[in-house]
Chains A and B, each alone.
Chain A
Amino acid sequence: MAGHPGLSHTAAMILQALDAGCLYGFSLMEATGLPSGTVYPALRRLERDELIRSSWEKQSIADAEQRPPRRYYKLTAAGRNALTASRKRYPLLTRMLPERETEPA
């Protein structure tokens, strides 16, 4: 999609949290403080608009750690551009959410 000047604050928060290293639904909820009924539909919307993309973790990695595989979300190039624009629009965004953490394998 061409340009996303109309990103809501919620969407911007989720993009910022993703950029900060919260890469799956529950951690996004924890970081943003938003309820599940807001975070997951927002993720679907962002994915539909090609601002993020998702992928399932490999079963072998999850098995080794004795936990179910996670569905990870990642910013796309368009999502990164939208986030940059959103940071100008919502200057407190970077202060609200922690700095970038480590990327998953």
Chain B
Amino acid sequence: MMTRLDILILRAAARLVPAGERREWLAEWLTELWYALHEGRRAGVTAFCLGAFRDALWKRRNAPIARYSSLSLRARPSVPEPPEIRCAPVIESPLCCLGALGCLATLALFLSWLSPVSLPSGGRLFLALLPLSVIYSLVLVFTGNALPGEYPRHRNWAGRWSFFLAKVTLLLLVIALSASAVPIAEFRIDAALISTAGAVRWAMMDQRRRCPVCLRMLDNPVRMGNHSRILLEWNGTELLCLRGHGVMHVPERPAIWFSRQRWLSFVP
């Protein structure tokens, strides 16, 4: 006879299994428990049931939702999916991104206009931060923290670079104007230097998360591969351009043969 404890353990573990697979999963474990008991293994039955937790956790971690969102070109199931409720970030499109940064720059200009401090002026600080931002960018690239991706066969390099330069310029304007409004002189330069490092890094990371064709944010991230098989197959994250321009493969850890993120273009 199955004891109440054994069944309780299996039912508790079943709560971890995704709802769609729970019934079959529990049926298999109850069947296996029946055989465990009828084949004279009463002593280790509780340990047997506790193993269900590991199995349930595996099921949970590998739930089909991950495979689902893998932008497969497979046919969709006949069951209609509920509408996805997702808030797109304000900076999703390049124009909105530049618009948001422009608003911030206007606000910073207003703050600096209100501030009684005039030296160092925002303009001079901006000019001083320009070469610094180039140095920061180079440091980030050469230390491998924000390597640019590989974008074969696409011609939008001018658009990408223009967008990147516009972002950095607006960010530096925000920083310079905000810093010039800081009343304590000792903090002004320090705040500007630290903020510039953060801003350049953000601009580069943001650039990496965008489609190189339409410059919109990539979406539907899907983790792929197995970390322990790094020598055999790639592992990392796959991101999709929702306008169908392509897929970005971002390696989880850089390998010799796959050090930078790669763009797979769907557009001929």
A binding-site residues for B, Cβ under 8 Å: 5-6, 24-26, 29-30, 35-41, 44-45, 48, 67-71
Evaluate contact between B58 and A44: CB separation under 8 angstroms.
yes
- Assuming the contacts A37-B51, A71-B28, A71-B31, asked whether A48 and B62 have C-beta atoms less than 8 A apart, the reply is yes
Partner of A25, one of B28, B39, B49, B232: B28
Partner of B32, one of A6, A25, A45: A25
16 A-B interface contacts by CB (under 8 A): A6-B228, A25-B32, A26-B39, A29-B48, A36-B32, A36-B49, A36-B55, A37-B50, A40-B52, A40-B54, A41-B54, A41-B55, A44-B59, A68-B30, A70-B31, A70-B35
With contacts defined as CB atoms under 8 Å apart, how many contacts are there between chain A and chain B in the complex? 59
* Bound complex: CA A35 to CA B35 (Å): 15
Evaluate contact between A44 and B34: CB separation under 8 angstroms.
no
Nearest 6 CB-CB pairings of A with B: A36-B51, A37-B51, A37-B54, A40-B55, A41-B58, A68-B31
From A25, which residue of chain B is reached at the shortest CB distance? Answer: B32
Evaluate contact between B54 and A69: CB separation under 8 angstroms.
no
Partner of A44, one of B52, B55, B229, B232: B55
Evaluate contact between A35 and B47: CB separation under 8 angstroms.
yes
Q: Is B36 an interface residue (CB 8 A)?
A: yes
Which residues does chain A contribute within 8 Å of B163, judged by CB atoms?
Answer: none
Evaluate contact between B31 and A40: CB separation under 8 angstroms.
no
- Given A26-B39, A36-B55; 19 other pairs, CB 8 A cutoff: A6-B228, A25-B28, A25-B32, A26-B32, A29-B48, A35-B51, A36-B49, A36-B50, A36-B52, A37-B50, A37-B51, A37-B54, A40-B52, A40-B55, A44-B58, A44-B62, A48-B62, A67-B35, A69-B31
Interface size counted on chain B using CB atoms at 8 A: 24
* Bound complex: CA A44 to CA B61 (Å): 12
* Bound complex: CA A6 to CA B47 (Å): 29
* Bound complex: CA A6 to CA B235 (Å): 15
- Assuming the contacts A36-B48, A37-B51, asked whether A68 and B58 have C-beta atoms less than 8 A apart, the reply is no
B binding-site residues for A, Cβ under 8 Å: 28, 30-32, 34-36, 38-39, 47-55, 58-59, 62, 228-229, 232
Main secondary structure of the interface of B (DSSP, over half): helix
Among B31, B38, B232: residue with most chain A CB under 10 A: B31
Evaluate contact between A38 and B39: CB separation under 8 angstroms.
no
Which residues does chain B contribute within 8 Å of A30, judged by CB atoms?
Answer: 39
* Bound complex: CA A54 to CA B107 (Å): 63
Evaluate contact between B34 and A67: CB separation under 8 angstroms.
yes
From A44, which residue of chain B is reached at the shortest CB distance? Answer: B58
From B35, which residue of chain A is reached at the shortest CB distance? Answer: A26
* Bound complex: CA A3 to CA B229 (Å): 12
Which residues does chain B contribute within 8 Å of A68, judged by CB atoms?
Answer: 30-31, 34
* Bound complex: CA A85 to CA B51 (Å): 29
* Bound complex: CA A41 to CA B129 (Å): 55
Evaluate contact between A6 and B31: CB separation under 8 angstroms.
no
Which residues does chain A contribute within 8 Å of B55, judged by CB atoms?
Answer: 36-37, 40-41, 44
